[in-house]
Structure 1
Amino acid sequence: MAKVAFIGLGVMGYPMAAHLKNRGGHEVTVYNRTQAKAEKWVAEHGGASAPTPAEAADGKDFVFSCVGNDDDLRSVTLGGDGAFGAIKPGAVFIDNTTASADIARELADAAARKDFGFIDAPVSGGQAGAENGVLTVMCGGDRAVFDRAKPVIEAYARMVGLMGPAGAGQLTKMINQICIAGLVQGLAEGIHFGKKAGLDIENVIEVISKGAAGSWQMENRYKTMNKGEYDFGFAVDWMRKDLGICLTEANNNGAKLPVAALVDQFYKEVQEMGGKRWDTSSLLARLER
């Protein structure tokens, strides 16, 4: 059992922290910007809450964060009451936020100066993956630090992999989102085409999902897409944030992402339709309006 802090109790962090407590058996202290949510978590799962990230991190062996973006991450780590001001030497900070590779490298350097470890560890699997403890975790950092952190991370994960040095986890998550964007757009167009052609979409997907066209998106989203229901996964607002990170990084490294850039604009149209909180499969709604 380790002493653990978890910073950020959103739709992902809330169940992830619970798995660290209940499945991992760790002593968990939580922090959330809205204190009432932290108190609710403690009422449900035990452990303790802290009024600041620094107080949550003080004396802990492992400190996790899962917040909104680069600015939020800087605030809870490097801000006046940030966790980096209180983490003990030799501890490990694991960041599950989907953020830029630049902030990951910045925080890794700051951690090294204070003699504790840092792992950028964005996740894939969405809210359902977090609730079921079966997330995929893509890590960047030092091998020795990763080897220490991996058994703790596994409390909420099905797959945990070290992808390279600091920032490599975030870069891998960008690839994940680039691939998803193309897959969902292709699935949306396929279902749209099938409907226009008068085909039974259930029968079509039953056949083609077993061949080369098959994907996780097809298996898990086609039924709700076919019904026009879009409340079952990763929100459009979040996907646009992630694709923005991808496109910025591509602009820096010279990669060409024409499909990702196009799908990002399609998601902008979905937002304008009122679908900011619809899940990413709502690309079909744009075609059917």
Structure 2
Amino acid sequence: MKVGFCGLGVMGSPMARHLASKSHEVVVYNRNTEKAKQWVDKNGGKFALTPREVGEQCDVVMVCVGNDDDVRSVVFGAPSAKSLSASSKSVENGLLAGLKPGTVLVDHTTASATLARELSAACSAKNVGFIDAPVSGGQAGAENGALTVMCGCDDQKVFDRVRPVFDAYAKACQRMGDAGAGQLTKMVNQICIAGVVSGLAEALNFAMRAGLDADQVVEVISKGAAQSWQMENRSKTMVRDQFDFGFAVEWMRKDLGICFDEAKNNGADLTMT
């Protein structure tokens, strides 16, 4: 299958690499063209100079960028938050302008459910399928091809058609409902992670201030009900005051901001978050 990938960051680059390793014909785009060239030199495939060129060549196109504004910039050629307006040329070069009827746009960005519904409607108007498909598992999950993909899609047949493609980099993938449901599920995921990480950090600080050996404490309590992925993968580095790796705090703050915005709409109490 001809698959496009827009966004070659810490998540997108390894995800696209897994697609290429599964014999898909991959076309990549990155705002930094040199980075796209380097990716192709290492992994094969082709690079495009604009998102539109990716859409014109592919059956399915994945987008994995930073936030709502970045997604709009790629898909619609819309201005970023730093610019005042989009030129007609940038709109013409947007991904949606190049997608053909029957193709599918997949957004792997963690973004708002509102944007997902907006993208779904815009794609539907062109007879293009759409799936919002945020992922969980972090950089390690992307590198190891072991991500969890949470999907929202208005058409089960569209999801079923693209589902096998996700297997290149996912250990689990499920359609959660219509457009936006994938992003809403990712919000639940981030709320859970934020709570567990905060609790773990406070607990380890308590242990150390109490004069306990934090490593021994973790070894014992990880055998009981307190055990979690965060404890298994983050406790040892927390104890050693090592935090400069993995998922950046600024991205978690961005994700939780999306959660708070959605909570205003549905009335959910996020006091602990």
Shorter-normalised TM-score: what interval? over 0.9
Residue 127 of structure 2 is aligned to residue 129 of structure 1: no
Q: CA deviation at 1:49?
A: 0.3
SS in 2 for 1:89: coil
Which structure: greater helix fraction? 1
Residue 251 of structure 2 is aligned to residue 252 of structure 1: no
* Contact 1:187 1:218 (8 Å CA) reproduced: yes
Matching residue of 2:231: 218
Residue 232 of structure 2 is aligned to residue 233 of structure 1: no
Moved over 2 A (4+): none
- 1:174-214 Cα shifts (integer Å, max 9, x gaps): 00000001000100011000001111111111111121111
Distance (Å, rounded) in 1 between the aligned partners of 2:239 and 2:73: 42
Q: CA deviation at 1:53?
A: 0.1
- 1:105-142 Cα shifts (integer Å, max 9, x gaps): 00001111100110000001111111111011000002
Q: What's the Cα RMSD here? A: 0.7
Matching residue of 1:104: 116
Matching residue of 2:38: 40
* Contact 1:8 1:67 (8 Å CA) reproduced: yes
Letter in 2 for 1:148: R
How high is the sequence identity, in percent, across the aligned residues?
63
Letter in 1 for 2:111: A
* Contact 1:59 1:88 (8 Å CA) reproduced: no
Residue 63 of structure 2 is aligned to residue 65 of structure 1: yes
Distance (Å, rounded) in 2 between the aligned partners of 1:71 and 1:189: 34
Distance (Å, rounded) in 2 between the aligned partners of 1:148 and 1:43: 30
TM-score, L = length of structure 2: 0.93
SS in 1 for 2:142: helix
Letter in 1 for 2:151: C
Distance (Å, rounded) in 2 between the aligned partners of 1:143 and 1:193: 49
Give the unaligned 5+ runs of structure 1. 261-289
SS in 2 for 1:162: strand
Q: CA deviation at 1:62?
A: 0.6
Give the unaligned 5+ runs of structure 2. 78-90
Distance (Å, rounded) in 1 between the aligned partners of 2:256 and 2:29: 28
Distance (Å, rounded) in 2 between the aligned partners of 1:210 and 1:124: 24
Distance (Å, rounded) in 1 between the aligned partners of 2:17 and 2:202: 38
Distance (Å, rounded) in 1 between the aligned partners of 2:6 and 2:15: 11
